[in-house]
Chain A
Amino acid sequence: MSAPAPTLPAKLRPLAPVSWKTPIMLSVIGLLSLVFFGFAGSEQTATFGISTGGDVFTLPDLVVPGIATGIVLGLGMCVLAGYSIFLAREHRPTPGWVPMVFAALFIFAFLVWVVSGARTPQISLAGLIAGSVTLAVPLVFGSLSGVLCERAGVVNIAIEGQLLGGAFSAAIIASVTGSPMLGLLAAAVAGALVSVVLAIFSIKYLVNQIIVGVVLNVLVSGITGFLFTTVMQEDPELYNSPGRLPVIDIPGLSAIPIIGPILFRQSIVGYLMYIAVAAVWIGLFKTRWGLRVRAVGEHPKAADTLGIKVNTTRFVNVVLGGAIAGIGGSFFTLVAIDSFTKEISGGRGFIALAAVIFGRWNPIGAFFAALLFGFADNLQSILTIIGTPVPSQFMAMLPYVVTVFAVAGLVGKSRAPAADGEPYVKG
């Protein structure tokens, strides 16, 4: 080009945004931790069991003093908070690893504090983690469903209904056919069916997606509750004894301390979870399909002008998401226990929704968010057993408190797909 480009002045002051949210939040939590977990901690020592009986090699138990550990970890948190304040004063954002390390320190300090203050100051770390993963399974499936739908621009409030529908169908089909595998399949179909209703109303008839989702949850809860009392309870032998999916133990690998049971001693639903997380992640971010899905969720009109069928893409994603959540639902009736009861999903669909946001609409993020919620859930039950100074009601609140903090944006700002929740009408 012939025209010389206009030269911009070299030193334009960048308008760097300063967010004090993170530094302030970290400072407050850090100081509170130092005081409560450190100076006001328990004088007992906390014992964490690392190895379980069947492991190939045995690691010694971790034994730490209550107050000293609390002070050290609390100081660590304060140092991180100080670093964050320093960065904010320099107009630089806090890097992602800071809140992560901070969270890890906080969780450990909290653990040491409650365990050392308990009547029997001893828990099995291996059991705690393995239990967390188990409890997280339906959450992970549910959040993957949410990620798939929302990445395509449809808000999926109906995860709870999909989980519940999956749990019910798995129970009844596995009982009648005597095959848990068929039950698993039926769970996927049931979840997909709930999604079909969501898709038809929200995509074709442009009904408010939140309202359809909420209505669906109530509908599924009503239908399964009704069938439970009228059919299942009439003849539990025939209709409500699905049997369990076997735990498949991979020899050798499953004996590794801590990670062995998590990764290599799972039911087929557990293994499917890992596969699904990896598949959805690769699908969304590495394939042509994923690029199109994300475009549809961010800027449907742009996708349309490039010949991508927006509403078809959305429909497929919503149904696929429903099937995945349905499989998650089968965990309740084919893995955890071998029967269906009313409201067996117990609001986990909503926790999964929180995991979607906490995980920033990323399958791997959602996976770890779901693990965190599973951890909180499991911790609560373990701590009740060992007898902590904290009332059990407060412990039962733990997963929900974590959810609120997570969704309120404790760790940076999450950004939903731009067209999330907005129906697409051509023209």
Chain B
Amino acid sequence: MKLELQGISKAFGSFYANEDIDLVVEEGQIHCLLGENGAGKSTLMNVLYGLYEPTAGRILVDGKPVVFRGPGDAMAAGIGMVHQHFMLVPVFTVAENVALGAEATKAGGILDLEVTRKKIREISDKYGFDVDPDAIVEDLPVGVQQRVEIIKALVRNAEVLILDEPTAVLTPQETDELLDIMRQLKSNGTSIVFISHKLREVKAVSDVITVIRRGRVVGDAPPEAETTELASMMVGREVKLTMDKEPANPGEATFKVKNLSVISSTGQRVVDDLSFEIHRGEILAIAGVQGNGQTELTEAILGIQDRVTGSITLEGKELLGRSVKQVLGSGIGFVPEDRTVDGLVPEFTIAENLVLDLYDKAPFAKGISMRPAEVRKNAESRVAEFDVRTPSAENLASSLSGGNQQKVVMARELSRPLRLFIASQPTRGVDVGSIEFLHRRIVDERDGGTPVMIVSTELDEVMQLADRIAVLYKGRLIGIVGADTPRDVLGLMMAGVSPSEAESSHQDNPDDMEGDFA
């Protein structure tokens, strides 16, 4: 099936998320849509899938124009979609999820799940998915849930499969398996639209790459194109993808975590007997797939987790049991993982956001009154220093782009002398241009002699920034390894394999990462 988009535009109010986009997906091809977060890739696919109505333009299937009034129409036309956030009902079984919306029934509308189970087993066998139709979806690992999504599309005879940022939630190994599955689907004649901003994966699997920037098609590129070339097409200017940083010059270990355990509100041991140290002037990166205890670890350090045992010391002083204010006061800068929820008050101005944790101290406060002039002066200098793109520091934080919001958070946290700097997902949802800048600031902080802890689920980021890498899996420390550890060893560790085993497995299959299709 050949799929064409002609002159598609989608406006939200006066803002155009897509403008005049042309795209042709040929049969049996893997067509990649490359673009930064917020470039309009997902909007375009939601138009194609019938979730949004296009403001202008038309969709053609095999040369004939079609109109999709809802996802049902798109599915009927042979288009399937695997959303970035899975559209699975967590408490249903795999079979129930696959059946939903296209149920086989016996007389009287009684469900006949046996038909669905059979179809699932067929597809599962064909592609080696290893999915149990009767498993409850919420008990399945993310990678398997994604396969359930793919099965959902295949059961509905999808000829074009849209994968929206499918690798964002996967371990590197799961990613490679997914790329293999994509190649297999392609060889069976299914076209795939692969949406991503990760250059490595795009180059590995695509037949054609279409680059989108600010809602417009910038151009097509072959998969052989240089990484830097793709990156500059995506961003619109020259970008440096590698980080030039001096080797670390670690001093004494001032931040120590010993036997730290955190029990979640549901009684789960989410951080399990963690011990590590960070030296002055080094960056320790905490790697791991999302949801393996990273959030709780940072929150425990900050003092917002209740059920914590063990010890956290900074320069010999115990932090556990202190209030958040005391912890911050002892010289900890903290960039939370979700800036719009925990990092900023979007309804406050940029200037106010820049003093969120300093508002009650000199020079911003005097007695019980605040000194707006000082707040403004501080805002102007921070905005200039961190290159926050805004007409005025009096604008609301919500008016900023993700990258600029993150600069505001970072500017606030780095604006006082620190004894420890913690940044969670420092560049999540941030444009490539800003990433460069933010990474530079983090390394500068390290070079100033501050111990730095970075939590990131992006392996690229971890490998670029880290001097040492600690891998978490199910709340446990799998190991701390050097920054030169090969990517696939880290990947195995992120799946819970011990460093020594991962290392030996790497020796056996050094080409694993190429994911050759044999």
A residues bordering B, Cβ < 8 Å?
Answer: 1-9, 12, 15, 17-19, 286-292, 294-295, 298-299, 301-308, 415, 418, 426-427
Contacts and interface: CB of A to CB of B under 8 A. Distances in A.
Given A3-B515, A295-B89, 6 more contacts: A5-B173, A288-B103, A295-B92, A302-B89, A303-B100, A305-B49
Interface in B70-127: 70-73, 75, 81, 83, 86-92, 96, 99-103, 105, 108-111
A305 B173 contact: no
26 contacts: A1-B177, A1-B184, A3-B176, A6-B491, A6-B492, A6-B495, A6-B497, A7-B505, A8-B496, A8-B497, A9-B497, A17-B268, A287-B110, A288-B111, A291-B92, A291-B96, A291-B111, A292-B101, A298-B89, A299-B87, A299-B89, A302-B87, A302-B88, A306-B71, A418-B90, A427-B52
With most chain B CB atoms within 10 A of its CB, the pick from A292, A307, A426 is: A307
Given A291-B100, A291-B111, A2 B517 contact: yes
Contacts of B128: 1
8 smallest beta-carbon distances between A and B, as pairs = A307-B72, A306-B101, A17-B267, A302-B87, A288-B103, A287-B109, A299-B89, A298-B89
Given A9-B501, A291-B111, A308 B101 contact: yes
B2 interface: no
B273 to A, nearest CB: 10
Contact of A308 (B100, B491, B515): B100
Contacts of B101: 292, 303, 306-308
B72 A298 contact: no
A415 B138 CA distance: 14
Contacts of A6: 173, 491-492, 495, 497, 505
Contacts of A4: 509
Contacts of A2: 180, 515-518
Nearest to B180: A1
Given A294-B89, A301-B87, A305-B71, A5 B474 contact: no
A278 to B, nearest CB: 14
Contacts of A427: 51-52
Interface residues of B, number: 57
Contacts of B501: 7, 9
With most chain A CB atoms within 10 A of its CB, the pick from B87, B266, B498, B517 is: B87
Contacts of B89: 294-295, 298-299, 302-303
Contacts of B509: 3-4
B474 A12 contact: yes
Contact of A5 (B49, B102, B177): B177
A286 B86 CA distance: 25
Nearest to A8: B496
Contact of A15 (B87, B88, B96, B269): B269
Contacts of A12: 474, 496
B91 A298 contact: yes
Q: DSSP class of A's interface residues: helix, strand, loop or mixed?
A: loop
A215 B176 CA distance: 56
B475 interface: yes
A306 B155 CA distance: 12
Nearest to B498: A9
Nearest to B112: A288
B267 A19 contact: yes
A1 B181 contact: yes
A286 B268 contact: no
Interface string B239-281: 0000000000000000000000000001111101000000000
B512 interface: yes
Contacts of B83: 305
B109 A288 contact: yes
Interface of B: 49, 51-52, 70-73, 75, 81, 83, 86-92, 96, 99-103, 105, 108-111, 128, 173, 176-177, 180-181, 184, 266-270, 272, 474-475, 491-492, 495-498, 501, 505, 509, 512, 515-518
Contact of A305 (B87, B512, B516, B517): B87
Contacts of A290: 111
A305 B512 CA distance: 36
A355 to B, nearest CB: 21
A291 B99 CA distance: 9
Nearest to A304: B71
A417 B509 CA distance: 46
B510 to A, nearest CB: 13
Contact of B105 (A1, A5, A288): A288
A2 B498 CA distance: 23
Nearest to B493: A6
With most chain B CB atoms within 10 A of its CB, the pick from A2, A4, A289, A305 is: A305
Contacts of B72: 306-307
A191 to B, nearest CB: 24
B100 A287 contact: no
Contacts of B180: 1-3
A237 to B, nearest CB: 46
Contacts of B96: 291
Contacts of B91: 298, 415, 418
B516 A295 contact: no
A305 B51 contact: yes
Contacts of B100: 291-292, 295, 302-303, 306, 308
Contacts of B108: 287
Contacts of B184: 1
Nearest to B173: A6
B103 A306 contact: no
Contacts of A426: 51
Given A8-B496, A15-B272, A305-B87, A3 B102 contact: no
B170 to A, nearest CB: 12
Contacts of A3: 173, 176-177, 180, 509, 512, 515
B83 to A, nearest CB: 7
Contacts of B105: 287-288
Contact of B102 (A289, A303, A306): A306
Contacts of B517: 2
A5 B509 CA distance: 11
A8 B269 CA distance: 20
Contacts of A8: 495-497
Contacts of B512: 3
Nearest to B104: A288
B111 A287 contact: yes
A290 B475 CA distance: 38
B71 A307 contact: yes
A6 B266 CA distance: 30
B177 A298 contact: no
Nearest to A287: B109
Contact of A289 (B88, B109, B272, B505): B109
B268 A15 contact: yes
A3 B102 CA distance: 33
Contacts of B52: 427
B168 to A, nearest CB: 18
A295 B501 CA distance: 42
Contacts of B109: 287-289
Contacts of A7: 497, 501, 505
B259 to A, nearest CB: 16
Contacts of B70: 307
Nearest to B505: A6
A164 B20 CA distance: 58
B111 A18 contact: no
Contacts of B110: 286-288
A53 to B, nearest CB: 43
A5 B176 CA distance: 10
Nearest to B514: A3
Nearest to A21: B267
A295 B99 CA distance: 11
A193 B108 CA distance: 28
